[in-house]
């Protein structure tokens, strides 16, 4: 277990390059692996979660050449996976487990997906039910990992999700690549649409809209070249740090601004933040741009409804920002936060209160009254990377040092986060 100490900062400055988008990286690797030939990926995330996907694909017989953030994936076609000789270890990555389950559901062999203690606590019924409707057989530990998947011939379905989840949607449409006919997923609220956009790049007949997505199978994937933009979820920590620290200005280069992911920009706009976008460029159907953020006094707002799926990963750092707003900020409809690497809702409320915030936890969110000064203290991240990074930013605006226990978990999404942060802050 590693511990990191964060000291108060005067400002944050400079041009920052955030890692490649983690969500897109998972999908690029998986779809390349079932393409009919070699695909080249640049801008690949080097996070521990993405390494879990790489390890699982190698265990399935896929050859990958990795050189920093560049990868060459030697795709073997939809049925090119080999039966693994061991359990496929997804580590801490729910995306690896849920999306790979969709691909394994169409394979003519059994495979077991497992992960660490945290991943074993996360709900998997949300993918088990639709995959079984499609014809797969899945054994689980009370709808949690490990998952034993017995694949085979699948049938197309129309599936209405009970929650807005890109992982569930992607799992089902990945399985739909192996089914005869049109597989469709409808959602109560839009979730990120990276899978649907990317499938078109691989030559698949896929559709997507605000209401869901669909794919026509059986489909063959043609290899392609993919360039992955910077991760806006990683950028959020620096955007908010600059907003909270006087005399700050940061520029974040080549950040993905997919419309299904820019909820953080919408949320910050309602809070009065100053975040500016350069001209947007598009590559591989994924828009990207440079973002610039600076200090601004924030105002309270309400975050809920259809915005929540677009900011689910950014809610912890938004809660930190809310402690410095003028008025009462309400976060609601966010019960999904309780089913991440830890109960993020309870953990954020517990430690923000410990730092002096006026915060009240509700079943599906919290109420935060600001502005209140924050005081340094000791935080246990509980192995959750977004909790650790959120309190690192909180530590910059606290009046004394903040100690973060279990800080190594940040490598799950942002290796080198503390080094980038330290180079950017002014004390």
Q: What residues are annotated to the active site?
A: 313
Place of tokens 């057989």: 137
Residue 173's nearest CA partner among 121, 230, 106 is 106
Name the pairing type of β-strands 110-114 and 147-150.
antiparallel
Burial of 376 (0-12, 13-18, 19+ CB in 10 A): buried
Angstrom distance (rounded) from CA 180 to CA 227: 31
Distance (Å) of CA 294 to CA 14, 127, 238: 11, 41, 10
**Roughly how many angstroms between the first and final C-alpha of the chain, as a whole number?**
27
Residue 412's nearest CA partner among 82, 51, 151 is 51
Angstrom distance (rounded) from CA 151 to CA 128: 12
Q: DSSP string covering 110-173, please?
A: EEEEE--HHHHTS--HHHHHHHHHHT-EEE-SSSSSSEEEE---EE--EEE-SS--HHHHHHHH
Furthest CA-CA distance within the chain: 61
Tokens at residue 357, please?
A: 């915030």
Distance (Å) of CA 403 to CA 189, 348, 375, 390, 419: 38, 15, 11, 12, 16
């Amino acid at each position: 277990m590693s511990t990191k100490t964060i000291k108060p900062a005067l400002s944050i400055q400079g041009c920052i390059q955030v890692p490649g988008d983690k969500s897109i990286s998972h999908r690029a690797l998986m779809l390349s692996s079932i393409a009919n030939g070699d695909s080249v990926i640049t801008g690949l995330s080097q996070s521990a979660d993405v390494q879990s996907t790489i390890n699982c694909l190698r265990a399935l017989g896929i050859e990958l050449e990795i050189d920093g953030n560049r990868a060459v994936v030697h795709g073997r076609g939809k049925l090119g996976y080999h039966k693994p000789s061991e359990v496929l270890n997804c580590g801490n990555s729910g995306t690896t487990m849920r999306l790979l389950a969709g691909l394994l559901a169409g394979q003519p062999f059994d495979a077991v997906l497992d992960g660490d203690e945290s991943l074993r606590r996360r709900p998997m019924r949300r993918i088990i039910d639709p995959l079984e409707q499609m014809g797969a057989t899945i054994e689980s530990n009370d709808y949690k990992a490990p998952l034993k998947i017995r694949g085979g011939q699948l049938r197309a379905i129309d599936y209405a999700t009970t929650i807005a989840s890109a992982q569930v949607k992607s799992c089902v449409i990945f399985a739909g690549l192996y089914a005869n006919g049109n597989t469709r997923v409808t959602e109560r609220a839009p979730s990120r649409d990276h899978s649907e956009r990317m499938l078109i790049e691989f030559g698949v007949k896929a559709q997507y809209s605000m209401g869901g997505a669909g794919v026509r199978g059986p489909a063959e994937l043609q290899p392609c070249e993919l360039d992955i933009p910077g991760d806006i979820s990683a950028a959020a920590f620096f955007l908010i740090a600059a907003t909270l620290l006087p005399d700050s200005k940061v520029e974040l280069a080549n950040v993905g601004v997919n419309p299904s992911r820019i909820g953080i920009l919408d949320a910050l706009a309602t809070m009065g933040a100053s975040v500016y976008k350069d001209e947007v460029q598009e590559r591989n159907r994924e828009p990207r741009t440079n973002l610039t953020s600076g200090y601004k006094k924030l105002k309270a707002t309400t975050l809920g409804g259809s915005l929540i799926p677009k900011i689910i990963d950014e809610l912890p750092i938004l809660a930190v920002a809310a402690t410095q707003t003028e008025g009462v900020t309400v976060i609601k409809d966010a019960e999904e936060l309780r089913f991440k690497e830890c109960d993020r809702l309870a953990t954020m409320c517990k430690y923000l209160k410990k730092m002096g915030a006026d915060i009240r936890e509700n079943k599906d969110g919290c109420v935060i009254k600001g502005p209140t000064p924050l005081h340094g203290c000791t935080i246990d991240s509980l192995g959750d990377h977004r909790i650790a990074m959120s309190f690192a930013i909180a530590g910059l605006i606290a009046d004394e040092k903040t100690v973060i226990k279990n800080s190594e978990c940040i490598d799950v999404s942002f290796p080198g986060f503390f080094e980038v942060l330290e180079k950017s802050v002014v004390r």
